[in-house]
Structure 1
């Protein structure tokens, strides 16, 4: 149970509703910031404007999966008001206050460091990332079907990157009968691709490997599909970029070439927000309970 814990939930999408539901069931006191337009009531949760919250009472702050942007703004679909998380706000919190976010960036890293507050990135955890890859794969299949006029079966697909998402994507598309090859740099990853029964290639050879593709699925969060690579792709191929914003694709040049390129971060929150939210809620409740226990031991 999380009785006596005071937690501020700042913005987010439908995934946050599962987090709110779980934490209120565990008897935490929640302050919902950026939820003015949310009609659904939660016992034990109150809606507040950012400026009215007493952050000196907060044990934890929960941010949406994307965290903040580089200006500190927090996205929310439940309010039209701007929410900005600042170092000044973090300095108001108790020294033991923990910030939870899906991912981070230089801004969020810096204000957490400057205020000496602990920042936990949930998507750095293997359990969260692996569970979350399931709705990501389902969403990718949906996008592939909606945006092509061919079957996945027997189509030629390249998956770039063999991280936790890349591995799940490559395996699933292969099980659907696609001819899948996977690009990676690490020798261990290339060996794993071979062990999975897929075709490995080094990313140094990407320019040659894209010549006959029906589809390219990128999971690498850096510019990997640049103009030089895209110039070698068939004009009727499809790019699905699953990397976090701004993705790893030169979208301007893809459009110029007439290649459909889709940036699709946050697919779980779109295709399966309830399941994706439950994944986050279960992990968060465990981490918050551990925080509470540690503080009790110290006191």
Structure 2
């Protein structure tokens, strides 16, 4: 339980709703910022007063999965206002206050570091990323079906990256009857792809491969789906970029070439917010309980 614990939840999407519910179930005192359009759905919560005494009570701050933008601003679908996360404001929180975020860019890392607080980027955790890959894969299948007029079964699929999401994508599309190739960089990755019964593609030599793929699924947050790849794709090809913004695809060239390319980060929050929210909520509450015990000691 988190009785007596004070937690602020700021901005985000429907996943945050599940986090708020879980915090209440664990008896935490919850402050909200960026939820003014929920029309009183959480009357037991308190609106966070950024200039009031609430700040000095906070044991934890929970940011959206996307964290902040490059200016340190927090967005949310339940408000029309952007929330600024500032170092001077964070310094007003107790020294043990922890900052939770899905991912963390350089701006967020600097803000928290300058305030001398602990930042916990949840998507860096293997357990969260693996659990999260389940709704991500389901959402990718949904997008693949919606945006094409051919079946996944029998199609040719290129997955870029064999991380926690890439591996789940490759395995699932293979099980659906697709002919799956996986672009990797390491010899260990090549061996793993071979062991999975799939076709390895050397990322370092990818420009030399024939790109006769129906689907290109990118998980690499770097410019890997470039013009030299896109120009070889068939006109009916679909690129789904699951990497964090701005993705790893040359979207301008894809549009010029007439190839449909869609950036779809945060798929779990779009297709299964309740499940995705529960995944994050369970981890956060577990970590907060550990932190609470340390503070009490």
Report the Cα distance in structure 2 between the residues aligned to 1:50 and 1:194, rounded to whole angstroms. Answer: 54
Aligned to 1:262, the other structure's residue is in SS state: strand
Following superposition, the deviation at residue 189 of structure 1 comes to 1.1
Report the Cα distance in structure 2 between the residues aligned to 1:19 and 1:43, rounded to whole angstroms. Answer: 15
Which residue in 1 is equivalent to 2:168?
168
How has the CA–CA distance of structure 1 residues 53 and 105 changed in structure 2, closer, same or farther, with 3 Å as cutoff?
A: farther
TM-score, structure 1 as length reference: 0.97
**2:238–2:260: 8 Å Cα contact kept in structure 1?**
yes
Which residue in 2 is equivalent to 1:271?
271
**1:24–1:42: 8 Å Cα contact kept in structure 2?**
no
Report the Cα distance in structure 2 between the residues aligned to 1:40 and 1:16, rounded to whole angstroms. Answer: 15
Following superposition, the deviation at residue 207 of structure 1 comes to 2.0
In the alignment, is residue 26 of structure 1 matched against residue 26 of structure 2? yes
Provide structure 1 residue ranges, at least 5 long, that are not aligned to the other structure: none
Aligned to 1:239, the other structure's residue is in SS state: strand
Following superposition, the deviation at residue 53 of structure 1 comes to 6.3
Aligned to 1:204, the other structure's residue is in SS state: helix
Aligned to 2:120, the other structure's residue is in SS state: strand
Report the Cα distance in structure 2 between the residues aligned to 1:232 and 1:196, rounded to whole angstroms. Answer: 26
How has the CA–CA distance of structure 1 residues 53 and 154 changed in structure 2, closer, same or farther, with 3 Å as cutoff?
A: farther
In the alignment, is residue 107 of structure 1 matched against residue 135 of structure 2? no
Which residue in 1 is equivalent to 2:182?
182
Following superposition, the deviation at residue 228 of structure 1 comes to 2.0
Report the Cα distance in structure 2 between the residues aligned to 1:19 and 1:76, rounded to whole angstroms. Answer: 14
Report the Cα distance in structure 1 between the residues aligned to 2:29 and 2:42, rounded to whole angstroms. Answer: 11
Following superposition, the deviation at residue 208 of structure 1 comes to 3.3
1:184-225 Cα shifts (integer Å, max 9, x gaps): 001111111111111111102222335211110000000001
How has the CA–CA distance of structure 1 residues 30 and 239 changed in structure 2, closer, same or farther, with 3 Å as cutoff?
A: same
Following superposition, the deviation at residue 233 of structure 1 comes to 1.7
**1:8–1:33: 8 Å Cα contact kept in structure 2?**
yes
**1:100–1:122: 8 Å Cα contact kept in structure 2?**
yes
Which residue in 1 is equivalent to 2:225?
225
Task: Give the aligned CA root-mean-square deviation in angstroms.
Answer: 1.2
How has the CA–CA distance of structure 1 residues 127 and 45 changed in structure 2, closer, same or farther, with 3 Å as cutoff?
A: same
Report the Cα distance in structure 1 between the residues aligned to 2:132 and 2:218, rounded to whole angstroms. Answer: 16
**Number of residue pairs the alignment of both structures matches:** 297
In the alignment, is residue 128 of structure 1 matched against residue 128 of structure 2? yes
In the alignment, is residue 92 of structure 1 matched against residue 95 of structure 2? no
Which residue in 1 is equivalent to 2:13?
13
Report the Cα distance in structure 2 between the residues aligned to 1:167 and 1:144, rounded to whole angstroms. Answer: 17
Following superposition, the deviation at residue 113 of structure 1 comes to 1.1
Which residue in 2 is equivalent to 1:144?
144
**2:13–2:269: 8 Å Cα contact kept in structure 1?**
yes
* Deviation larger for 35-44 or 197-206: 35-44
